[in-house]
Amino acid sequence: MGSLKNAWYRTFQFLFNIGQTFMPQPSPELLDGAGSIKKLPAFIKSKGINKVLIVTDSVLSKIGLLNSLFAACDEAKLAYVLYDGAEVNPSIECIERAYDMYRENKCQAFIAFGGGSSMDCAKAAAARVARPNRSIQQLGGTLKVHKKLPPLFAVPTTAGTGSEATLAAVVTDYSTHHKYAIQDPCLLPRYAVLDPELTVGLPPHVTSTTGMDALTHAVEAYTNKFAPKYTRRLAEKATKLIFENLEKAYADGKNLEARSNMLLASFYAGRAFSRACVGNVHAIAHTLGGLYGVPHGLANAIILPYVMEDFGPAVYPRLARLAEIVGIKGKDDGEKARAFILEIRRMNKDMNIPEQTDVIKDKDIPQMVEWALKEANPIYPVPVIWDAEQMTKTINRMRKPVADRQTEDSLMK
């Protein structure tokens, strides 16, 4: 039965890959460079748009990171309404509030300002504008929107999610703790602003985890089956930029060159996985976000080396190529691939990202496995299709041993 199911998954993935060639994904138009955020309002006005909804979170609103955008809007005479209620792992309710504000204020476009959560919120709200008679739950899944969205201008303030270059919005249903994606080419933002000055104030732990999120996008897109050549080139560029710049940005947050290169890496990785898909790392990470509120980048950073190890020889040729690109040597593909995974672990450790997580409860593992398998299959063209047994094994490997958790708890008392 398992072999028949796997054959069906591969057939679906092959046909879906062919189908995607008829669904163009144009790259968002870029405004980039230091200070480019100040040019955005005039650019928006030039498109005949007079009023926008700015979607962001309360933290960015309070620290004044949007002040330069507000000033530029006033100078360009672009009217704006601020929604700063975007949540980490945005809920259905949060998205609905953004949608209501857009509609009630007769806005004509969205500016998504912030990390992946702000962009997910804006994308999903824009999907509701396009499909006012469908609920968020009904839009969940692949190709459920299929209608032109209002113009969406994406302004990332972290270098990691790549949401400014992707066709997905991730939603959390807090009534069930289920995290899922709305995926449709129409969700791809038309324009993206890559301004390194907006990322200068990121705390080191946000810099590290969002950067490893971008690396996860690149690695999963690169190792998946059926990926076209252009996505592999993008993933290669992203991986090289991340290996060369992430730790520099982590050590010196004011290094504008490193910050700019990380924004570009995140953009490339986002473009790569939009076409080539992500894989089991994301499938597991979404369960950690939905059940325990673990930040997405942190979850991906922890999970990535375990999943690549458990794929085994199936990923050695591709990981060996990435190893060569970043200067890692070895006598054969297996040695290079294993060294590449060890380097990911080394980067995590040096940036104070834990090797394992201590949040997973025994009783939740069956639910995690069910959700992860449902997300991954049949859509993700992963190198090796896993069953429940392998998914459970990998999840258990990334858990901190019970003895270690109990020792830490006793020391904290």
Q: How far is CA 127 from the centre of its chain?
A: 18
* One-letter amino acid for residue 189 of the chain: P
CATH 1.20.1090.10 in the chain is located at 204-412
Q: Which amino acid is at 10?
A: R
Structure tokens at 20: 């995607």
Q: What is the CATH code of the structural domain delimited by 25-199?
A: 3.40.50.1970
Superfamily for the 204-412 domain: Dehydroquinate synthase-like - alpha domain (1.20.1090.10)
Reference 322, options 271, 262, 269; nearest CA is 269
User: DSSP 3-state assignment of 360?
Assistant: coil
Ranges in the chain annotated CATH 3.40.50.1970: 25-199
pTM of the predicted model over 0.85: yes
Distance from C-alpha of 117 to C-alpha of 91, rounded to nearest angstrom: 10
Residue 86 CB partners (closer than 8 Å, separation 6+)? 55, 56, 57, 94, 98, 114, 117, 118, 121, 122
Please list the pLDDT of the chain residue by residue as tens digits (413 residues). Answer: 478 999 999 999 999 888 887 777 788 999 999 999 999 999 999 999 999 999 999 999 999 999 999 999 999 999 999 999 999 889 999 999 999 999 999 999 999 999 999 999 999 999 999 999 999 999 998 889 989 999 999 999 999 999 999 999 999 898 888 888 899 999 999 999 999 999 998 999 999 999 999 999 999 999 999 999 999 999 999 999 999 999 999 999 999 999 999 999 999 999 999 999 999 999 999 999 999 999 999 999 999 999 999 999 999 999 999 999 999 999 999 999 999 999 999 999 999 999 999 999 999 999 999 999 999 999 999 999 999 999 999 999 999 886 554 554 444 44
